Structure 1
Amino acid sequence: MSILLLDVDGTLIDSLPGIRAGFLHTLDQLGWPHPDEEFQRRIAGPPMEVTLRSLGMSPAQAQAGLQVYLDYTRRGGWADATSFPGMLDLVHRWKDAGLTIATATSKGEGFARLILEREGFLPHLDFIGAAQEDGPRRSKSAVIDHVLSTNGWAADSHDILMVGDRSHDITGAAAHGIDTVAVSWGYGTPEEWATAAHTAHTPQALEGIVHDWLAARG
């Protein structure tokens, strides 16, 4: 069995508009100054409390901020997102080719399911692996562990490939011995992509990398 683990934010879905709006709303509610534009462009992907802590918030402040952010997202912020061109068709082709496909996202499970359903991905996915919106399963490594353990899949880099756009996708997969393809249309940097086994700059290039990975496995 060949398994693809797919990140959502920055890989399948361009969710930055909604995440940024929720992030800035959270800072305003906490009376916290806005960081610069460069920082704001990098907030999609990691758990929100991690991003808030990186601004200098205490753990208690970051947890309070997370609740504000989740409330904003529940009230409709999740919908301010669209799929990246070409990715739905690619996931469809992978499924038709017989690959097993699961998400491994730091997005909350409920929000992930809503946007993946609206954008047409849900019928092509075998499992929705996501973070808990308000629970201990928050890091990418913990999400991947949940995906593997729930499905009884062995963490074997020859059978499983991760596709993501940020360093936490790469390090989270590496913690389980899984290689990552970094995609450059998301929110990462060349320095982050350089730590992945492969980098794809277009969905067509990603399809080729996955094809070669499958061929190498025989």
Structure 2
Amino acid sequence: MKTLLIDVDGTLIDSYPGIRASFLHTLDAMGHPHPGEDILSRIAGPPMEQTMRAVGMTPDEAHQAVEIYLRHYGEGSWANAEPYPGMRELLARWKEKGFQVCTATSKGEHFARQSLELYGMIDFIDFLGAAEENGPRRSKESVIAHVLDSLALRGTQPDILMIGDRIHDFDGAATFGIDAVACAWGYGDADEHAKARWTATNTRHLEDIVDEWNEQS
């Protein structure tokens, strides 16, 4: 059985509006200045503590900021999002084709499950691979390792494909020798997409790439 590892934010769901709102709330609560839109547009995807550190917070400040962020996000910002058109239907087709469909997201497990339930995607997910809101499993590498170990997939890397939109998706997959597809509709740029083996411009193109990979691998 071939396995698809799929990112959530920027791949299945456009969650940027809610992430942005909670991020700005956190900066205000911490008395921290707002960065420019060029920085704000790239906050979705990486672990939030990395983003807090990237805007100049100390490790202790970043830890406190993540707690504020998660509290605000859980009060409703998590639902300030939209599924990308066609992705729910594509998940259903992948299941029909016999793929094992898993997530591999830096989003916390609780919020990942809530989001996928809200948009009717959870029924097509065989294993929910996600970060821990308050635990050591935060990086993309640790999330992928969690999926591989939970499903006894170590050593089957040629039969696994990562689908995401940011550089940490592709670098995380490469750590384990897993090929990746970049989704151009997400939050990454062309330089990040270049880290993936393929770049999909829309859901039909993504489906074609996965079919080609499945036939060749």
Q: TM-score range by the shorter chain?
A: over 0.9
Report the Cα distance in structure 1 between the residues aligned to 2:2 and 2:195, rounded to whole angstroms.
Answer: 23
2:162 aligned with 1:156, yes or no? Answer: no
| Structure 2 counterpart of 1:35, one-letter code | P
TM-score (norm 1): 0.98
The one-character-per-residue Cα deviations of 1:26-46 (angstroms, maximum 9, x if unpaired) are 000000010001111100000
Deviation at 1:76, TM superposition (A): 1.2
2:59 aligned with 1:59, yes or no? Answer: yes
SS of residue matched to 1:88: helix
Give yes or no for contact 1:166–1:193 (8 Å, CA) kept in 2.
yes
- Name the counterpart of 1:8: 8
More displaced 10-residue stretch of structure 1: 94-103 or 146-155: 146-155
Deviation at 1:155, TM superposition (A): 4.5
Report the Cα distance in structure 1 between the residues aligned to 2:14 and 2:49, rounded to whole angstroms.
Answer: 20
- Name the counterpart of 2:36: 36
- Name the counterpart of 1:193: 193
Give yes or no for contact 1:156–1:178 (8 Å, CA) kept in 2.
no
Deviation at 1:77, TM superposition (A): 1.3
Deviation at 1:157, TM superposition (A): 3.2
Q: Structure 1 residues 68, 155: closer, same or farther in 2, change over 3 A?
A: farther
- Name the counterpart of 2:130: 130
What are structure 1's unaligned runs of at least 5 residues?
Answer: none
Give yes or no for contact 1:155–1:178 (8 Å, CA) kept in 2.
no
What are structure 2's unaligned runs of at least 5 residues?
Answer: none
Deviation at 1:50, TM superposition (A): 0.2
Deviation at 1:56, TM superposition (A): 1.2
Give yes or no for contact 1:155–1:176 (8 Å, CA) kept in 2.
no
More displaced 10-residue stretch of structure 1: 149-158 or 35-44: 149-158
Identity %: 54
Report the Cα distance in structure 2 between the residues aligned to 1:52 and 1:115, rounded to whole angstroms.
Answer: 23
Report the Cα distance in structure 2 between the residues aligned to 1:13 and 1:68, rounded to whole angstroms.
Answer: 23
TM-score (norm 2): 0.99
Give yes or no for contact 1:155–1:177 (8 Å, CA) kept in 2.
no
Give yes or no for contact 1:148–1:155 (8 Å, CA) kept in 2.
no
Counting matched residue pairs gives 217
SS of residue matched to 2:107: strand
Give yes or no for contact 1:6–1:162 (8 Å, CA) kept in 2.
yes
RMSD value over aligned CA atoms? 0.7
- Name the counterpart of 1:169: 169
More displaced 10-residue stretch of structure 1: 112-121 or 154-163: 154-163
Report the Cα distance in structure 2 between the residues aligned to 1:90 and 1:199, rounded to whole angstroms.
Answer: 17
The one-character-per-residue Cα deviations of 1:122-175 (angstroms, maximum 9, x if unpaired) are 111100000000110000000000011011112533100000000000001111
